[in-house]
Structure 1
């Protein structure tokens, strides 16, 4: 199951663009915690903490325990990050507060097992991944790190669907059907281009005989 990550924050007193700019001038990233029918909490984060989480990947599926200095602790999901258009640094973060008993909508990556022994791949087929992440509804305490699909018996032309996920951890797909996650596609055969026809040999130049020169009659 996914682990809860603790992230430290400072409280912000004012909302608005001017207050957010003032927070950035202090070297911090303005952020907000919203949801669960409660008033929004304005906070500021150390940009190093934000970048550390973004570089891990999969941050939208992680649970964050935001500890506000001289305040309480909020259990959240990191829902959105805004970046500076030039420096690409984070300039604002949105957290969604989790309510007790609430299921959350998350994206979970897919891992494929036994690619080396997959009959279809060994026969020259190609693994065509349709969805690298699956969006599901999950209990906050039971969000999986990844879903796994076993390719050990998959042949060329087979489709691996949601039902092929080995363990779904009590989650529910947001797509209400047994959708395709990946396929084993047939190898692409490239026809060799025919060799260009040989150019016809150039005709030999016709040899013209020089007219015989007769001797002078005396």
Structure 2
């Protein structure tokens, strides 16, 4: 359960905002961004390189990847991606919101839950169906200790096995805030054709009984 690697980006402050200005920015292979947070309550507008930010913004771990910003005024800031706006058709990145995180202060962040060996789990090999119910858990953690993901190894899980949030293995220093009784995954038996036939027969008998009862009442 490795920690996310820190990404370093150059952040150039900008004074001009608006649709027209953002269009010009994007034509230069830059992305307009705004940095919010404790030290930037009104938001700090800037630009970052598309080439530098795209791998993070397009990854499955974009909201847990710590970004170290080198701001053009000589200051620095740590941040996480909070929102990515995309073109509705091309899906190209149009704008990004960043949120400042302070070192030494814990933050709340959702961590992806990944199931390893899902296809080779004992219960699945026996014909069961593995259902992944919870894919994100909320945790409280230091910015430098944010885990990339929480992994559940399903290899030895048998038919009927259940894994709850309380069963997840998390690194030291990570506090899970999601309800511990929430189900993360379970392996259930698939209904066989025999079970469906039996159920169908029971339904037919029930209909038959109701029909006889109705007929008896009509005769009275």
TM-score, scaled relative to structure 2: 0.76
Q: Deviations over 1:169-216 (max 9, x none)?
A: 33233323321110011123235999xxxxxxxxxxxxxxxxxxxxxx
| Preserved CA contact (<8 Å) 1:158 1:183 | yes
Provide the rounded CA distance (Å) in 1 between the counterparts of 2:184 and 2:71: 40
Please identify the structure whose Cα radius of gyration is greater: 1
| Preserved CA contact (<8 Å) 2:165 2:178 | no
Whether 1:34 aligns to 2:22 is no
Match for residue 154 of structure 1? Answer: 157
Match for residue 68 of structure 1? Answer: 71
- What secondary structure, in the 3-state scheme, does the structure 2 residue paired with 1:48 have? helix
Q: In structure 2, do the counterparts of structure 1 residues 55 and 81 end up closer, same or farther at CA, with 3 Å as the change threshold?
A: closer
Out of 92, 96, 100, the residue aligned to residue 99 of structure 2 is: 96
Structure 1 residue ranges (4+ consecutive) displaced by more than 6 angstroms after TM superposition: none
Q: In structure 2, do the counterparts of structure 1 residues 25 and 180 end up closer, same or farther at CA, with 3 Å as the change threshold?
A: same
Q: Deviations over 1:52-85 (max 9, x none)?
A: 2233321111000122235322100011110112
Query: What is the Cα-based RMSD across aligned positions, in Å?
Result: 2.6
Ranges in structure 2 where 5+ consecutive residues have no aligned partner: 198-220
Match for residue 177 of structure 1? Answer: 180
Provide the rounded CA distance (Å) in 2 between the counterparts of 1:151 and 1:29: 40
Provide the rounded CA distance (Å) in 2 between the counterparts of 1:138 and 1:72: 24
Q: Deviations over 1:24-58 (max 9, x none)?
A: 34442110111114352211122222322233321
Whether 1:58 aligns to 2:100 is no
Structure 1 segment 1-218 matched on structure 2, within 5 A:
1-39=3-41, 40-113=43-116, 115=118, 118-190=121-193
| Preserved CA contact (<8 Å) 1:113 1:152 | yes
Ranges in structure 1 where 5+ consecutive residues have no aligned partner: 195-218
Q: In structure 2, do the counterparts of structure 1 residues 30 and 156 end up closer, same or farther at CA, with 3 Å as the change threshold?
A: same
Q: In structure 2, do the counterparts of structure 1 residues 25 and 166 end up closer, same or farther at CA, with 3 Å as the change threshold?
A: closer
Q: What is the aligned length?
A: 194
Provide the rounded CA distance (Å) in 1 between the counterparts of 2:108 and 2:4: 14
